[in-house]
Chains A and B, each alone.
Chain A
Amino acid sequence: MLEIRNLSVTYPDGTPALQNLSISLGTREVLGIIGESGSGKSTLALAIMRLLPPDANVKGEIIYNGKDILRLSKSELERVRGTEIAMIFQDALSAFDPLMRVGPQIVEKAVTNKTLGYKEARARAIDLMRGLGVTNPEARFDAYPHELSGGLRQRAFIAMGLFQKPKIIILDEPTSALDVITQAQLIQTIRGLKEGGLSMIFITHDIALASTICDRVAVLYAGKMMEYGSVHQVIHRPIHPYTQGLIESTPTLTSVRRGLKAMKGYLPNLKSLPGGCRFHPRCPFATDICRSVDPELAELSDGRLVACHMAADSK
């Protein structure tokens, strides 16, 4: 459905936020993008929505419906946004204009474009909110954003994203601002959307969360894809040392008792990446070749892609 080819993004200050990323999203698929803060996962979402600052250097192609999103005209872009590809981000409170009631903001775009009258739009928005688990949606429709709880706000925000029936929805850490219970409920809702036939890109730093809803997962590190494969491959049998480290540092009931294993070191400064493999200063298995040659993404026998010298050897 959506195919990203050789996407590189460099910010005007010279920061290479994404390097040579190729990834694709199938119909009715949920693609997880996992990485630490600063790994480039949000940059990817912004690039797909064409929200990067105009002076950022963007190379590559993002093909949707046979057309390159990066080369769409302004009016074509306005048509694609919202009706074809929608995006939900982390903080639903700031996603609503504080001066307007929630409902009118959900239906705003469709009503200004005269695709729907206000009454039909209101009825549809209320149905949609009810379907997303908003209790008493008629009252919420006329409420101001600050009058809703965090979970309700996030659901209302998802309703806003879904209102124009997009084919793809990008979820940029949609549950990070919520408590665990609300988070679990929202994940149920998102699973329901997947059953409903929506394709999704799910951006998160929470590997456990990704494993519960994604079909395929890409792990980003410092702007580069490190491992890419099915959830089963990447999360249950990780090969790249970075993915392994991420999973080992995720608390589970048993690991807490054993003591968490933290990954040593920090994400490198993107402007002065270490030579060779960008992960080698933190990698427990680093050898001489890792310090001098940047590994290519290579396909393993089980079909996954891994950028690691050690993985290629064990093939």
Chain B
Amino acid sequence: MANTKLNGEIMFGISVILFFTITSFFGKYFIPINPSVQHLSAAFQPPSWSHPFGTDYLGRDVFARTLEGGSVSIEVGVAAGLLTVVIGGLVGIFSAYYGYKVDITIQRVVDIILSIPLIVLVLVLVALFGSSIALIVFAIGILTWPSLARITRAETLSLKERDFVYAEIVAGASGIHVVFRHLIPNQAKTILVYSGLAMSSATLIQAALSYLGFTGGSVSWGFDLYMAQQYIFNGSWWMTFFPGAAITLTSLGFYMISEGLRKMWR
């Protein structure tokens, strides 16, 4: 059977994601600095012992903001990634298993969604219905499932011609039973590898949205990046560096889990 030893990629990914989860959800209990309180007299301070990541243009503590901003990134990354995987996985499998008209209809929907620039469509949805975290998750979920649907569809097309599927049908099994008992377990690895990718890209989409102002109502790395970009050239590198590095690391963390799983099962 496959090698199940955890490799470096998985360890790296899990450590990074665990680190950000712990620091962003529990960090505020240990670092008693309010990330939103302004000290205009202390603006633009470089990193020091009292402000490890420096302060921004309003004198807010960048360290506290970087801690606080992670929670929305991880929430949206995990939730939207899972939503994408559930929708995409099921739609692809049912599309292929039932085939014919069902398949043709679903695949045309997939084509249409894939042909529209993702970020534009998310922006339209968020602009129309507000930018709560739930809506951002929903918008990313319903717009990014098609790529996985294509993968699971292709895999199901080959799995459903295998004799054990016929043996099940001949024994009188229903379609639902075949899908959940045989088709999903037999491509679980593909789906799990993809879910890491989906979370990685959901994190990036969330960052892009908050960069454009749709923050979900909370402190967020993307929005801080937007506010800080105009001060890059006066030497205040810390205002962009820390939130930017955090976005990159979180996205990379999810990606490395996915990559590690893929290598482990190869």
Q: Which residues of A are in contact with B by a Cβ distance under 8 Å?
A: 49, 51, 54-55, 78-83, 86-87, 89, 91, 94-100, 105, 108-109, 112, 157, 160-161, 164
Contact = CB atoms under 8 A, between A and B. Distances in A.
Interface residues of B, number: 19
Interface string B87-121: 00000000000011000000000000000000000
A93 B172 CA distance: 20
A235 B250 CA distance: 74
B172 A81 contact: yes
B163 A86 contact: no
A299 to B, nearest CB: 34
Contacts of A108: 168, 171, 173, 181
A79 B100 CA distance: 24
Interface of B: 99-100, 162-164, 166-174, 177, 181-182, 185-186
A69 B68 CA distance: 64
Given A54-B100, A55-B100, A99-B186, A89 B163 contact: yes
B177 A86 contact: no
A157 B167 contact: yes
A96 B164 CA distance: 5
A49 B170 contact: yes
Contacts of A79: 172
Point out which of B100, B164, B169, B170 has the most chain A C-beta atoms below 10 A from its C-beta. B170
13 contacts: A49-B170, A55-B100, A81-B169, A81-B172, A82-B170, A86-B171, A95-B163, A96-B164, A97-B164, A105-B164, A109-B173, A160-B167, A164-B171
B185 A99 contact: yes
Nearest to B183: A97
Contacts of A99: 185-186
Nearest to B178: A97
Given A97-B182, A99-B185, A99-B186, A78 B174 contact: yes
A89 B186 CA distance: 21
A100 B181 CA distance: 10
A50 to B, nearest CB: 9
Given A82-B173, A89-B166, 9 more contacts: A78-B172, A79-B172, A95-B163, A95-B166, A97-B164, A97-B185, A108-B168, A112-B177, A161-B171
A82 to B, nearest CB: 3
A54 B99 CA distance: 10
Contact of A91 (B163, B168, B169, B172): B163
B171 A109 contact: yes
Nearest to A83: B172
Point out which of B166, B167, B169, B181 has the most chain A C-beta atoms below 10 A from its C-beta. B167
